[in-house]
């Protein structure tokens, strides 16, 4: 006896196998590529964190692709634990778009380990770059007082502590007076240690006035090297290698110069000063050996070094394009002093 199996399929009685064949269909295709991606970051070969102080740091970022959608927000987020997210308030806001930028992290605490990573947001969400850790310095920002009673603000930059203002003492730290000049001619005729100040705002270009100076005092080489000590106790005139550590080498490009310069319109030729390091270099320039003053467009600072080809090796020089840690000068020039902590 032959038994036939029947199955209902869409209201019709059909053999079971035929019904099975008729009811099969192709699955939907989900394999097509999608453009809904997050921004992509370029991982640097070395740490992107620099200019670390007790309360701030800089983080260099490069976004190599936007993920197929315009980047609407970007920056760096940080925390004292790993994997910080944009839900935190401790983040920067650095415009939008792909490319490179440098974020300034502020409001940090001294002697603290932080974890930071870049972020960028597009229509598809927020992507994060590689996380880096760093520790802030010891919080030596404060003040120091010279023998004349002048109080100077100080700043911790990396492992160094600097005055944020140019020295303006009229005496060595043992209270011995530093000779001064009241006129251009007196300055030109000095044959030993001396200092001079300029009155600001300038009258007829500039005037000598030892009672007031926006730029501090200008000291010649003889005053800088006097064994009586021109800096307060516990501080010294910076050595060339210490200036090199601050500058980042023998010379650095405009970004480093910008980070060291105070934000003021007196930096003629550029409004790019950020003072992100906190060093606050004013464009005090220098006074020539004959008493001439070229104008407040650059910054020069004495640093203790060796004689070079009959000239003196001067410390830092800044203009709106470059920062140098040493360059040749002469002993009679009046140049600013920024003391560094021992």
Taking only the tens place, the pLDDT of each residue in 272-329 is 788 888 888 888 888 888 888 887 788 888 887 666 666 777 888 888 888 888 887 8
Q: Which helix (H) or strand (E) holds 221?
A: helix 221-225
| Burial environment of residue 327 by CB neighbours within 10 A (0 to 12, 13 to 18, 19 or more) | middle
Q: Which of the pair, 66 or 181, is modelled with greater confidence? A: 66
Most confident of 35-44, 94-103, 128-137: 94-103
The length of the chain, given as a count of residues = 342
Task: Lay out the sheet containing 151-157: strands in order across.
Answer: 142-145, 151-157, 160-163, 340-341, 235-236
Work out the angle at residue 293's Cα, subtended by the Cα atoms of residues 291 and 297, and round it to the nearest 5 degrees. 160
pLDDT of residue 209: 52
Q: Which of 318, 311, 159, 303 is nearest to 243 (CA)?
A: 303
Which residues fall within 8 angstroms of residue 256, CB to CB, at 6 or more apart?
Answer: 247, 248, 323
Show the DSSP H helices in 184-263 as ranges: 184-189, 221-225, 240-247, 254-260
Whole-number Å distance between alpha carbons of 262 and 6: 92
Whole-number Å distance between alpha carbons of 161 and 278: 11
Residue 339 has pLDDT above 90, yes or no: yes
Query: What's the whole-number average pLDDT of the chain?
Result: 81
**Which residue is listed with tokens 């008729």?**
22
Whole-number Å distance between alpha carbons of 19 and 322: 83
Q: Per the omega criterion (within 30 degrees of 0), is the bond before 338 cis?
A: no
Write down the pTM of the prediction: 0.60
pLDDT digits 0-9 by tens, 171-203: 999 999 999 988 888 889 999 999 988 765 554
Residue 211 has pLDDT above 90, yes or no: no
- Helix, strand, or coil (residue 247): helix
**Which residue is listed with tokens 């880096």?**
132
| Phi, psi angles (nearest 5°) of residue 290 | -90, 5
Over residues 128-142, mean pLDDT: 82
Residue 112 has pLDDT above 90, yes or no: no
CB 216 within 8 A of CB 164: no
Residue 138 has pLDDT above 70, yes or no: no
Whole-number Å distance between alpha carbons of 331 and 334: 8
Whole-number Å distance between alpha carbons of 238 and 303: 5
In DSSP terms, 211 is beta-bridged to none
- Helix, strand, or coil (residue 74): strand
pLDDT of residue 252: 63
Residue 243 has pLDDT above 70, yes or no: yes
Q: Which of 34-38, 129-133, 224-228, 233-237 has the lowest mean pLDDT?
A: 34-38
């Amino acid at each position: 006896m032959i038994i036939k199996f029947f199955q209902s399929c869409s209201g019709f009685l059909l053999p079971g196998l035929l019904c099975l064949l008729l009811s099969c269909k192709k699955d939907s295709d989900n394999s097509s590529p999608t453009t809904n991606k997050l921004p992509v970051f370029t991982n640097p070969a070395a740490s992107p964190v620099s200019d670390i102080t007790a309360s701030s740091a800089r983080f260099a970022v490069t976004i190599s692709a936007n993920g197929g959608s315009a980047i609407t927000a970007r920056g760096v987020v940080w925390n004292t634990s790993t994997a910080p997210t944009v839900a935190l308030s401790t983040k920067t806001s650095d415009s939008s778009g792909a490319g490179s930028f440098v974020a300034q992290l502020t409001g940090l605490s001294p002697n603290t380990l932080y974890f930071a990573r870049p972020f960028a947001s597009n229509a598809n969400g927020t992507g994060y770059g590689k996380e880096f850790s760093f520790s802030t310095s010891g919080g030596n920002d404060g003040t120091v007082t010279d023998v004349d009673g002048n109080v100077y603000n100080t700043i911790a930059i990396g492992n160094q502590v600097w005055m944020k203002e140019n020295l303006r003492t009229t005496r060595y730290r043992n209270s011995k007076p530093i000779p001064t000049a009241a006129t251009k001619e007196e300055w030109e005729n000095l044959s030993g240690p001396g200092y001079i100040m300029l009155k600001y705002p300038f009258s007829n270009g500039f005037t000598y006035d030892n009672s007031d100076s926006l730029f501090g005092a200008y000291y010649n080489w003889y005053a800088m090297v006097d064994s009586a000590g021109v800096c307060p106790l516990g501080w010294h005139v910076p050595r060339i290698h210490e200036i090199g550590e601050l500058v980042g080498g023998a010379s650095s490009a405009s970004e480093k110069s910008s980070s060291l310069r105070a934000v003021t319109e007196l930096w003629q030729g550029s409004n790019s000063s950020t003072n992100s390091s906190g060093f606050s270099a004013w464009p005090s320039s220098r006074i020539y050996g004959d008493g001439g003053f070229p104008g407040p467009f650059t910054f020069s600072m004495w640093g203790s070094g060796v004689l070079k080809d009959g000239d003196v090796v001067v410390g830092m020089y800044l203009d709106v394009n470059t920062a140098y840690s040493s360059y040749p000068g002469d002993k009679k020039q009046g140049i600013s002093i920024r003391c560094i902590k021992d």
